[in-house]
């Protein structure tokens, strides 16, 4: 049933003028994101998005809206998330979409929606942008997970509206966007109450929802709108964002493409479907870059770090959804290391300015997207590359890195202040801290190195995996790429996810690691997707047939 989706590429670029499912409005420091999903507006004509249920097309618009609020509307201090449908907030992910989707599509759908909700929490924690869920009706599954991503939840108390996570009793699966984790880790709901709640199809409403901490406030329908407005104003008053704009408009990305290549202004990916390898190249800054905030704002979305990382983000999403058989991605850079380091220094010097802050946190989120992408990443550090500072994070994020050691052609990497903290991983650690988990003193040692780090030194300190000379380079790289591409993609996905996130567990790693692992498994079990599995018979015929044996 999902052939309609898979026969055409998933397009992530959109604009508020093109939204079909959300209405974005502004009133001074308050923005309102109102959900009004069009039943026939999904990625496929094979299902209808009834009751404000959603598919990937709905979440693409939501992600775009959040990004635009952060960059284009610095005067916005709080966002109200609500619904335009009467007595319905959101019924969650569309069940017929899930039931008919290939496994890989389901996984990437859940991953993207997770990243979108985490972007909301990132905006709250780092950008002074608070989110208030105004739950004006039934709020189930992914709808409640959207509310859980907000700072606070206000529920209308009308005897009918409820919050629920009915996936286990109704569908034989788990909430796919962090609901279980946020209920106990973020909202601190007692485990036994969370357990009971997660087995109820109808969820909880009114006073019980408030007493058990599933919501922050309840109001009768006659008082609801006024209460939401007042609380949104109070949340907005806590923000350190600017009192007024203008912001920075995010224009469309400049893309030239063919069947086997996507070329943006600063990022190119070339696809070799025969070998199942992609080559992703990031070009460093071109020409003089701004050194103060006024010049940064004047450059707008063409300022190199914002432009380059927007393009990198677009390429990663394209690879995930539209090139599922490309299992290995070679990471390369081209350009001047000093130019990259200068940009890093400017961003670090002005990190308290709202625009620099937003760029830094967008760079962080894009690098996290790379960490969470189920592909083998191999960094090739060659003469003429600019693996320095923020772009050196690409090499640190790679599963393996190879650095050419050629006495006749200088080759080096370099660190900057940005390698020391702001570009953290889902664990809260930097990539250097993760790399040297068993040798923590090495982090400061590396950050203290001034100037270029050549191959022998990079290998000795542990910044690269291998440093072949010019005689062995071609053969070693070729054999590694061929060998990697020949391994089971399922085994590699598990291997990489296990190794990339060393260190402490956070709400974020629980969502992507623990939840994703279980959901991945459950989505393939006959009890969920078999001929008589819960996702297959939902809304069609009778009750599912379960294999009652515990595994």
Tens-place pLDDT, residues 184-219: 999 999 999 999 999 999 999 999 999 999 999 999
Does one domain contain both 149 and 289?
Answer: no
Contact 416, 341 (CB under 8 A): yes
Confirm whether 522 is domain-assigned.
Answer: no
Confirm whether 192 is domain-assigned.
Answer: yes
Please give the residue range of the domain that contains residue 449.
256-495
Number of domains in the chain: 2
Does one domain contain both 195 and 127?
Answer: yes
Does one domain contain both 413 and 265?
Answer: yes
371-407 per-residue burial string, b: 16 or more CB within 10 A, e: under 16: bbbbbbbbbbbbeebbbbbbbbbbbbbbbebbbbbee
Among 465, 495, 525, identify where a domain stops: 495
Compute the C-alpha angle 394/398/404, nearest 5°.
85
The total of other beta-carbon atoms located within 10 Å of residue 314's CB is: 19
Does one domain contain both 183 and 318?
Answer: no
The phi and psi torsions of 497 (rounded to 5 degrees) equal -65, -35
Distance separating alpha carbons of residues 89 and 507, to the nearest angstrom: 25
Q: What is the CATH number of the domain that holds 100?
A: 3.90.226.10
Preceding amide of 304 cis, omega within 30: no
Confirm whether 184 is domain-assigned.
Answer: yes
Distance separating alpha carbons of residues 25 and 483, to the nearest angstrom: 52
Does one domain contain both 203 and 264?
Answer: no
Confirm whether 134 is domain-assigned.
Answer: yes
Does one domain contain both 180 and 148?
Answer: yes
Reference 72, options 354, 266, 264; nearest CA is 354
Confidence of residue 9 (pLDDT cuts 50, 70, 90): confident
Range from 29-33, 284-288, 446-450, 519-523 carrying the lowest mean pLDDT? 519-523
**Three-class DSSP category at 349:** helix
Our CA dihedral for 425, 431, 436, 441, rounded to 10 degrees, sits at: -100
Specify the residue for token string 């690691």. 513
Tokens matching residue 124 = 């709250």
Confidence of residue 1 (pLDDT cuts 50, 70, 90): very low
Question: Considering the chain, what is the average pLDDT of its residues?
Answer: 95
Distance separating alpha carbons of residues 494 and 501, to the nearest angstrom: 12
Confirm whether 352 is domain-assigned.
Answer: yes
Does one domain contain both 213 and 357?
Answer: no
Residues linked to residue 83 through DSSP beta bridges, in sequence order: 35
Does one domain contain both 134 and 208?
Answer: yes
Mean pLDDT of 232-254: 96
185: Cα separation from own chain's centroid: 19
Q: Which helix (H) or strand (E) holds 337?
A: helix 337-349
Confirm whether 538 is domain-assigned.
Answer: no
The phi and psi torsions of 505 (rounded to 5 degrees) equal -95, 140
For strands 261-263 and 256-258, give the pairing: antiparallel
Compute the C-alpha angle 433/281/11, nearest 5°.
100
Distances 45 to 35, 39, 97 between C-alpha atoms, Å: 20, 10, 10
Specify the residue for token string 């220094």. 345
Confidence of residue 68 (pLDDT cuts 50, 70, 90): very high
Does one domain contain both 274 and 222?
Answer: no
Distance separating alpha carbons of residues 488 and 481, to the nearest angstrom: 14
Does one domain contain both 79 and 203?
Answer: yes
Q: Which helix (H) or strand (E) holds 318?
A: helix 304-322
Using only the alpha carbons of the chain, give its radius of gyration: 24
Among 236, 264, 288, identify where a domain stops: 236
Kindly tell me if the per-residue pLDDT of 2 is higher than 50: no
Tokens matching residue 138 = 């039934």
Distance separating alpha carbons of residues 44 and 343, to the nearest angstrom: 43
Within 469-532, residue ranges assigned H as helices are: 473-486, 489-500, 507-509, 516-522, 526-529
Quote the pLDDT of residue 4.
40
Quote the pLDDT of residue 541.
75
Confirm whether 441 is domain-assigned.
Answer: yes
Does one domain contain both 218 and 260?
Answer: no
The phi and psi torsions of 523 (rounded to 5 degrees) equal -65, -15
Contact 33, 81 (CB under 8 A): yes
Tokens matching residue 488 = 């089971």
Confidence of residue 5 (pLDDT cuts 50, 70, 90): very low
Quote the pLDDT of residue 464.
98
- What is the pTM assigned to this prediction? 0.95
Among 467, 495, 523, identify where a domain stops: 495
Distance separating alpha carbons of residues 57 and 43, to the nearest angstrom: 6
Does one domain contain both 298 and 219?
Answer: no
Quote the pLDDT of residue 491.
93
Confirm whether 540 is domain-assigned.
Answer: no
Distance separating alpha carbons of residues 442 and 432, to the nearest angstrom: 9
- For the stretch 77-94, pLDDT in tens is 999 999 999 999 999 999
């Amino acid at each position: 049933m999902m052939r309609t989706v898979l026969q055409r590429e998933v397009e992530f670029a959109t604009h508020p003028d093109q939204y079909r499912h959300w209405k974005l409005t502004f009133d001074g420091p308050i923005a309102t994101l109102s959900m009004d999903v069009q039943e026939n507006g999904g990625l496929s004509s094979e299902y209808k998005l009834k009751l404000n249920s959603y598919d990937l097309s709905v979440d693409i618009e939501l992600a775009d809206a959040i990004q635009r609020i952060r960059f284009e509307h610095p005067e916005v201090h709080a966002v109200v998330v609500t619904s335009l449908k009467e007595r319905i907030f959101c019924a969650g992910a569309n069940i017929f979409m899930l039931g008919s989707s290939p496994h890989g599509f389901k996984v990437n759908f859940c991953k993207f929606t997770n990243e979108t909700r985490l972007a909301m929490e990132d905006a709250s924690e780092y950008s002074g942008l608070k989110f208030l869920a105004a739950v004006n009706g039934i709020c189930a599954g992914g709808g409640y997970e959207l509310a859980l991503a907000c700072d606070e939840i206000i529920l209308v108390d009308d005897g009918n509206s409820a919050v629920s996570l009915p996936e286990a009793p109704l569908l034989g699966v788990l909430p796919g966007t962090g609901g279980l984790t946020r209920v106990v880790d973020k909202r601190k709901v007692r485990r036994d109450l969370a357990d009971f709640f997660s087995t109820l199809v109808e969820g909880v409403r009114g006073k019980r929802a408030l007493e058990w901490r599933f919501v922050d406030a309840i109001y009768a329908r006659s008082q609801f709108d006024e209460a939401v407005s007042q609380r949104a104003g109070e949340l907005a008053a806590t923000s350190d964002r600017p009192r007024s704009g203008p912001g920075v408009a995010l224009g469309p990305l400049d893309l030239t493409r063919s069947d086997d290549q996507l070329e943006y202004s600063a990022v190119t990916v070339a696809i070799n479907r025969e070998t199942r390898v992609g080559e992703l190249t990031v070009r460093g800054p071109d020409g003089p870059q701004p050194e103060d905030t006024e010049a940064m704002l004047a450059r707008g979305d063409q300022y190199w770090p914002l432009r380059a990382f927007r393009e990198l983000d677009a390429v990663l999403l394209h690879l995930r959804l539209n090139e599922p058989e490309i299992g290995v991605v070679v990471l390369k850079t081209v350009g001047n290391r000093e130019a990259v380091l200068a940009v890093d220094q400017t961003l670090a010097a002005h990190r308290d300015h709202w625009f620099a802050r937003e760029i830094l946190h967008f760079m962080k989120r894009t690098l996290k997207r790379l960490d969470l992408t189920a592909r083998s990443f191999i960094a090739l550090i060659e003469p003429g590359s600019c693996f320095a500072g923020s772009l050196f994070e690409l090499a640190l994020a790679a599963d393996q890195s190879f650095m050419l050691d050629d006495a006749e052609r200088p080759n080096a990497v370099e660190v900057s202040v940005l390698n020391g903290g702001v570009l953290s991983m889902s664990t809260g650690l930097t990539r250097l801290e993760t790399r040297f988990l068993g040798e923590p003193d090495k982090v400061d040692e590396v950050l203290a190195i001034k100037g270029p780090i050549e191959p022998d030194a990079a290998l000795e300190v542990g910044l690269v995996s291998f440093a072949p000379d010019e005689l062995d380079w071609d053969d070693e790289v070729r054999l590694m790429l061929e060998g990697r591409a020949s391994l089971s993609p399922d085994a590699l996905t598990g291997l990489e996810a296990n190794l990339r996130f060393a260190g402490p567990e956070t709400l974020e790693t629980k969502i992507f690691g623990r939840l994703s692992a279980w959901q991945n498994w459950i989505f393939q079990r006959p009890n969920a997707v078999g001929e008589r599995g819960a996702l297959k018979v939902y809304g069609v015929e009778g009750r599912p047939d379960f294999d009652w044996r515990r595994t």
